Amino acid sequence: MSQQYPLKEVKGDAVCFVPGSPIFSVLMEPASFCYPRLTFLRSPYGQFGASAGSSQDLAPWPQRLVTQRWTGPVDGYLKCDTDDGCEAKEETGGEELFDAVNSSIVSGDSIRFFVNVNLEVPPNATAENESAGCVLLHTSRKYLKLKNFEEEVRAHRDLDGFLARASIILDETATSLDDVLREMLKHFAEDPENMEPSCNFEKIMSTLFTDSGTPREGNGTHDVSESTGMNTQTCTSHLKFHLLSDTIQGVTATVTGVQYQQSWLCIICTIKSLQRRHVCISRLERPQNWGENSCEVRFVILVLAPPKMKSTKTATEVGRTFATMFSDITFRQKLLETKTEEEFKEALVHQRHLLTVVNQRPSAMSDGHKSHGPKPLKLHEFLNVGKGISDDIARRFPVYALDFTDGVTGNNKAIGKYITTMIFLYFACLLPSIAFGSLNDENTRGVIDVQKTIVGQCIGGLLYALFSGQPLVVLLTTAPLALYINVIRGICDDYNLDFSAFYAWIGLWNSFFLVMYSLFNFSLLMKLFKRSTEEIIALFISITFVLDAFKGIIKVFKKYYYHGRTGDSYLEKARTDAIPSLGINITFLMNSSVSRSMSLENQTGTHDVHYGRETAVLSLMLMLGTLWLGHTLYQFKKSPYLHARVREILSDCALPISVLTFSVVGSYIFKEIEMSKFNYNPSESLFVLAPVQSLSIGSVMSAMGLGFLLSMLFFIEQNIVASLTNAPENRLVKGTAYHWDLLLVALINTGLSIFGLPWIHAAFPHSPMHVRALAYVEERVENGHIYETIVSVKETRLTSLVANFLVGLSLLLLPFPLQWIPKPVLYGLFLYIALTSIDGNQLFERVALLLKEQTAYPPTHYIRRVPQRKIHYFTGLQVLQLLILCGFGMSPLPYMKMIFPLIMIGMIPIRYNLLPRIIEAKYLDAMDAEH
């Protein structure tokens, strides 16, 4: 039967056209398949795309059919032979006109099919398009990593949950996407194990598409559209877009572009009324053409999930699990051969096993993570004397000149960043020197005071900035060293030893052992320190800052709040001092208005400085105010206020601004209230050699034992801080120099010990904060969580040089104006340093997880790779080690403080021998990974 149809519409599954017409330009490639919904019929001009008498399979017609009466050489009608009595249907109004239609299909078998249609456009075409109404379509594409079945535990749990409540539809006969989805939702509704009593599946059906909540008008005709799963409904007066809102598909990048895996489609949706996640897989009886990039769909995966879920349990994450499995063409072929649901499940389990085995690689490094287990250290590595030092010098010396010129010359200048970093580093070095110098002054009864501490900081800092292999590391005297000095003072008092000589001998022995460690490459042992161990020690140092601050403020309260004269006793003292010779009864005067006015007048005239409870309260306010303002300005770069450069400057200068502000508040605005200030006793001579010859041989030998324990502290602190500074996430490029830097610290402390100046070593968190100040940072958002990533760091010596030089010049500011800095402001500085140091500390983040609901968990690598229970076990064991370390390091018993460096060393066998007996090694390695 032969009939003529207008090109506007064809009923049934047949689409007829004339390939020989001049309005078509066709490019064909051979194919081994054809699509059932689009049947290409023979034209009077012969076989399409081949010579007369030849035969060739055809690719499907592009998804948008231009429905228009043709004008010109073609009469607008096609003649073909059909077997189903198709009828012609013509419309007289509401016709849409297009200037040109360019459509292409990229199928899995590399069929390319291009159509160019040139039409005559009436002058009123534009007006008609505008009057028909325009909608905006927002399209967003996001790259998803294939799920790692060997490392991500949630992949197995997603599949196990699906197998337990399997929703599988085999050989679905529905042909349209809407009908297939309705059958899948119907399957959900009828399954007693997947019941959702409060869920409206019709509403879910509408939510899957972009026209959710929009009424569909008229009886339009459905055509296959251009986008995945899109049906376009056309009527005389309205145009609706019916597109899937959220899908996942497999793609392959080629030289010619992106090719889609078109035989499967994963549809994901978040529904508020759902109580749990649901997954349904439907295998279609015949391949269906649902639009561009979905021309031969055989599998549909539907994933539904409630909105408030843990970051690893969202609809996207579940969809990623099944999309990873279906991305394998061999696996899809096996699923086509299955006959029952049980065979289908077995194929899923087998594919999971294959994906798990494939991802297990023997290489030590994978995806940028640390290797599983340390590389064994060999004895000859330690016997090769000086090799580590020579390697460090060979690595760093070629770029030594660049440490002075980077950021100053060339195109990428960073002078502004250098200036703000110098200001920050100056205060970060000076204020702790004042604080610990004041503490050492009290502990040593003036032998080591603020002045000597500043001198030692200046000399040691300048030498290290000039000659170190990693100049971004900051040297300071620290809280553990202050504790050690206090213990030494106690030993000298108990045994009547000369403090200066005993202190010098301990420092000399310490330097001797450090030289031995550097010559025999002992820094290689730091490979045994995992990230978790480093973070325990880092958090211990932060806790010491907090305890020092609270100890200081408690002393202030004991002195002024509990033991100071307040209230009526204060008034009685004022009156007694004011009129001592009158001999008048104070009780009588208290009841006399005349005496009240006299006492008030004399009080204001002779007592301008108040002390008592107001001193304690103001001290607390100054400490908390310094913390608040410093941390607020530090976070100010994340706010939307002011210009980005201004925000960055305020953030970099948060420490000096907060200290100066509340120093003015405490010393000037409330100058009538007495505040606690650090002691300043000017030294007669700063450089006096210690009488090392005055000690007996026995005392020198006992100093060797203490020097060895001190060298353990130096060795661990120096290397761990250097390791945190050189962490991969900081993206430093000029290399490390652990052995050479350790030797340089030993030489610096030799001179400091002989002249009775306080020891210094690498300081945490000042060193990582120095790196942060010189870094260019960008923010990224992942699953609603904001992460900061360091792009690059300006590795320079100039900031440390200038900052330590300014510290030396600060001797000219003693006693004033430096003594105007109240002690509570220094305590606030300690709290600020402790608070900012926990940024990026995974131990602290995992402790915070215990207080969060699961939906707020960040999508970190350990959340993805480790079961939640194992994470909490590991965190608990870390906290236990931290408490043991704090118990020794902060014990009131002086000799227990001496051995806490050995406790740090003892964490190595705990990590390698004890923890793997409790938690699997693969989980430990995942939580110790860098990213």
Q: Residue 462 has what pLDDT?
A: 96
| Mean predicted lDDT score pLDDT of the chain | 76
pLDDT tens for each residue of 178-209? 889 888 888 877 777 766 767 777 778 888 88
Q: Output the CA–CA distances (angstroms, integers) from residue 127 to 96, 97, 122, 134, in the order listed.
A: 11, 11, 10, 12
Q: Residue 790 has what pLDDT?
A: 87
Bridge pairing between strands 257-260 and 251-254: antiparallel
* Lowest-confidence region among 215-224, 347-356, 722-731, 875-884: 215-224
What is d(CA 308, CA 193) in angstroms, rounded to the nearest whole number?
A: 21
- The stretch 367-381 carries a mean pLDDT of 58
Q: Residue 574 has what pLDDT?
A: 41
DSSP code of 244?
Answer: B
Portion of the chain with pLDDT greater than 70, in percent: 74
Q: Residue 633 has what pLDDT?
A: 92
CB 477 within 8 A of CB 461: no
pLDDT band of residue 166 (cuts 50, 70, 90) is confident
- Pairwise pLDDT comparison (4 vs 464), residue with the higher score: 464
Closest by CA to 147, choosing from 369, 302, 364, 367, is 367
pLDDT band of residue 6 (cuts 50, 70, 90) is very low
Q: Which of 268-277, 312-321, 585-594, 751-760 has the highest mean pLDDT?
A: 751-760
CB 717 within 8 A of CB 762: yes
| Whether pLDDT at 18 is above 50 | no
Closest by CA to 330, choosing from 358, 364, 371, is 358
300: β partners:
265, 282
Closest by CA to 544, choosing from 478, 449, 490, 448, is 478
Give SS3 for 78.
strand
The CA-CA-CA angle for residues 431, 432, 434, to 5°, reads 65
pLDDT tens for each residue of 692-725? 998 999 999 999 999 999 999 999 999 999 998 9
- The stretch 520-542 carries a mean pLDDT of 87
DSSP string, 88-142: -----S-----SEEEE----TT-----EEEE----TTHHHHHHHH----------
Give SS3 for 595.
helix
- The stretch 28-36 carries a mean pLDDT of 36
| Whether pLDDT at 68 is above 60 | no
* Lowest-confidence region among 133-147, 376-390, 835-849: 133-147
For tokens 């065979």, the residue is 343
What is d(CA 144, CA 859) in angstroms, rounded to the nearest whole number?
A: 14
Q: Residue 842 has what pLDDT?
A: 84
